């Protein structure tokens, strides 16, 4: 971050965020990310100031004790393709910020999903989260099957199917009707081939910010790494509550803290499209440039939506908890 921003900073004068952005030719749709970078650099002690008044350079970041990102990722259970992607994002940070390169070129090179699979499936944290979600869904189906058959499952923003893999494996032999949905046909076509052996799978386009009120009722809704894209998470959770049959549940996987490597890579996907207005968030993130809710905020939002947070994994003393990702299971009361 500092390497990208440093040429636009002064050692003595305070420069506004807009001034820094103009000097860098930072794309307007990504400027929310620049504010996040500057705040992160401020927390590190490399710059001084704030978003309102501006920033100046203070000192260079000390060289890390272990500068090899590939090795650090390996120690955290992340594969080489993911480490290579993160390094490439850092190496091309200026091009990404100026919109002369799109992150999709690095995440899906020539349409290949290997890198995306490394990010959302083939790593220690994702394996834990996806297995936990699969077990939770299977337990929920087993508990509901006496009242209804088949049990209707909706997955929102299923993407590459990283969570779907473990959920479908856990559902083997159980009476379900599973709706795999996304906002893009790109992922649907790949999923149809990937899950061809499951005759109870259905596929469709669903935009959670526009289509939830039009959906039929379901017993379980799965939302893995997608609800942070909601314009208002509280509103979306209330819509999911109303979409669920009594006794139904949402199974959510979410990151609860943005680490620096996310701010220089996958967060570029959160920006609005070119020439599209930035959708103003109207929930607890409004005015903050934040993407993720904290674990406490997720619990509070679930309760406010009428979804009892029955289980949150991993627990605080689990090693995977340090990576700040969680599985939340929120249940709608049977008496409603």
Q: Which two tokens stand for residue 42?
A: 């401020």
CATH class of 124-257+292-332: alpha beta
pTM strictly above 0.85 = yes
Tell me the pLDDT tens digit for each residue of 54-98. 999 998 766 666 678 888 888 877 888 889 999 999 999 999 999
- Cα distances (angstroms) measured from residue 199 to each of 122, 161, 169, 189, 211: 26, 16, 13, 16, 25
Total residue length of the chain = 336
Tell me what pLDDT residue 151 has. Answer: 97
Q: With a cut of 50, which residues of the chain have pLDDT below it?
A: none
Tell me the pLDDT tens digit for each residue of 83-138. 999 999 999 999 999 999 999 999 888 777 788 887 777 788 889 999 999 999 99
Tell me what pLDDT residue 278 has. Answer: 55
Tell me what pLDDT residue 98 has. Answer: 97
Burial 84-108 (b: 16+ CB within 10 A, else e): bbbbbbbebbbebbebebebeebbb
| Residue 172: how many other CB atoms lie within 10 Å | 9
Specify whether the CB–CB gap between 236 and 227 falls below 8 A: yes
């Amino acid at each position: 971050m500092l390497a990208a921003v440093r040429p636009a900073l002064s050692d003595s004068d305070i420069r506004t965020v807009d001034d820094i952005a103009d000097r860098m030719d930072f794309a307007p749709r990504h400027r929310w990310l620049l504010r996040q970078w500057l705040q992160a650099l401020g927390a590190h002690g490399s710059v001084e100031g704030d978003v309102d008044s501006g920033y100046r350079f203070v000192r260079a970041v000390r060289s890390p004790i272990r500068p090899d990102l590939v090795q650090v990722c390996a120690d955290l259970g992340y594969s080489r393709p993911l480490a290579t992607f993160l390094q490439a994002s850092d190496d091309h940070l200026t091009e990404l910020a100026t919109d002369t390169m799109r992150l999709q070129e690095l995440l899906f090179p020539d349409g290949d999903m290997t890198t995306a699979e490394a990010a959302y499936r083939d790593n220690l944290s994702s394996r834990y989260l996806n297995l936990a979600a699969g077990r939770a869904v299977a337990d929920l189906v087993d508990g509901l099957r006496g009242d209804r058959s088949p049990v209707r499952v909706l997955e929102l923003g299923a993407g590459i199917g990283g969570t779907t893999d473990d959920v479908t494996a856990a559902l083997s032999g159980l009476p379900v009707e599973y709706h795999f949905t996304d906002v893009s046909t790109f992922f649907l076509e790949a999923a149809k081939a990937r899950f061809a052996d499951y005759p109870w799978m259905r596929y469709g386009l669903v935009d959670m910010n526009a289509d939830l009120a039009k959906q039929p009722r379901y017993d379980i809704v799965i939302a893995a790494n997608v609800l942070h894209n909601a314009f208002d998470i509280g509103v979306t959770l209330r819509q999911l509550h109303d979409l669920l049959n009594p006794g139904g549940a949402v199974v959510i996987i979410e990151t609860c803290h943005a680490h620096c490597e996310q701010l220089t890579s996958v967060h570029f996907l959160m920006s609005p499209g070119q020439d599209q207005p930035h959708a103003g968030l109207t929930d607890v993130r409004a005015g903050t440039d934040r993407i993720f809710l904290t674990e406490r905020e997720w619990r509070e939002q679930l309760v406010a939506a009428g979804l009892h947070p029955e289980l949150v994994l991993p627990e605080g003393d689990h090693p995977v908890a340090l990576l700040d990702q969680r599985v939340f299971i929120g249940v709608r009361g049977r008496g409603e």
